[in-house]
Amino acid sequence: MDDLQELRSEAVEDFVKTVYKLQQRYDLVPTTEIAQALNISPPSATDMAKKLADANRLREPLLTHERYKGVRLTELGEQLALEVLRHHRLIELYLVKALGYSWDEVHEEADRLEHVISERFEARIAEFLGHPDIDPHGDPIPALDGSLPMRGDLMPLSEWPLGKQGIIGRLLDQSPEKLQYLAQKGLKPGTIIEVVEREPFDGLTHVRVEDKLHVLSQSITCMMLILELEEH
């Protein structure tokens, strides 16, 4: 039987991290979705899923696999995914706070470094940053025990009530182009925002940030999650 340590490859860690993220949308994650997210072929995704679900090879499988339906992480698989996410999100915040990276530059760097830092180095980063609970994009940073910080209900800006102030809590799409666009308009987690008008038919939304008005497309308002002011 393979030991978990032998499975701690970059490919396996990326796989379980991707499954964890997709589980927020699917009860059973289709391997086609995993393949698309990882930019690999569907047969490769299926092969990896079978490997990580094989109880004959592993003392504890990292996921369950239902043929033609999809996969779901086991408790051990989720534990590994949360550990990798903790590394990734702490590194992103460290790069921004300590090394002066912009928030649109950090994702690829963190993707590379998350697999190689030691637990000691992770602890030093967390201490330096004051044990934060969110990264630069508003994503929650798992604690050492795998728990996630409690936050209020987040609602897409596309559904946020007219005339009500809220605070930007999280950004779902972290492509560099969109992050650069949002940064130019001062739309980052922690920013107070108010919807002042929605135009019919095309989904354009007019928002106020401090004394400035911005017009945002539906693709932008759907990716921005808003939090009640009193829950921040």
Confidence of residue 7 (pLDDT cuts 50, 70, 90): low
CA 217 to chain centre: 22
How far is the C-alpha of 74 from the C-alpha of 87, rounded, in Å? 20
pLDDT over threshold 80, residue 6:
no
DSSP for 141-153 reads: ---TTS-------
Note the maximum CA span of the chain. Answer: 63
Looking at every residue in the chain, the average pLDDT score rounds to 92
Which pTM value belongs to this model? Answer: 0.88
Task: Say what the pLDDT of residue 213 is.
Answer: 95
Nearest Cα to 4, choosing from 59, 53, 45? 59
Place of tokens 């912009």: 102
Helix extents (H) in the chain? 4-7, 10-22, 31-38, 42-53, 75-99, 106-113, 119-128, 176-184, 218-223
Burial of 209 (0-12, 13-18, 19+ CB in 10 A): middle
Inter-residue contact 122 to 87 (CB < 8 Å):
yes
Question: b/e for 195-205, b at 16 or more Cβ within 10 A?
Answer: beebeeeeeeb
Tell me, what's the pLDDT at 105? 94
- CA-based Rg of the chain, rounded to a whole angstrom? 19
Per the listing, tokens 């460290």 go with 94
Q: What is the pLDDT of residues 143-189, one digit of tens each?
A: 999 999 888 889 999 999 999 999 999 999 889 999 999 999 999 99
Q: What is the pLDDT of residues 68-110, one digit of tens each?
A: 899 999 999 999 999 999 999 999 999 999 999 999 999 999 9
SS3 186: coil
Q: Which two tokens stand for residue 76?
A: 């051990």
Average pLDDT, stretch 49-62?
Answer: 87
pLDDT, tens digit, 9 for 90 and up, residues 100-146: 999 999 999 999 999 999 999 999 999 999 999 999 999 999 999 99
Q: Could you tell me which residues are beta bridge partners of residue 208?
A: 194, 213
Model pLDDT, residue 114:
95
Q: Is 159 left (phi over 0), alpha (psi -120 to 50) or beta?
A: alpha
Query: Helices 10-22 & 42-53, crossing angle to 10 degrees?
Result: 100
Query: 203-229, pLDDT tens digit by residue?
Result: 899 999 998 999 999 999 999 999 998
CA dist., res. 140 & res. 92, Å (int): 12
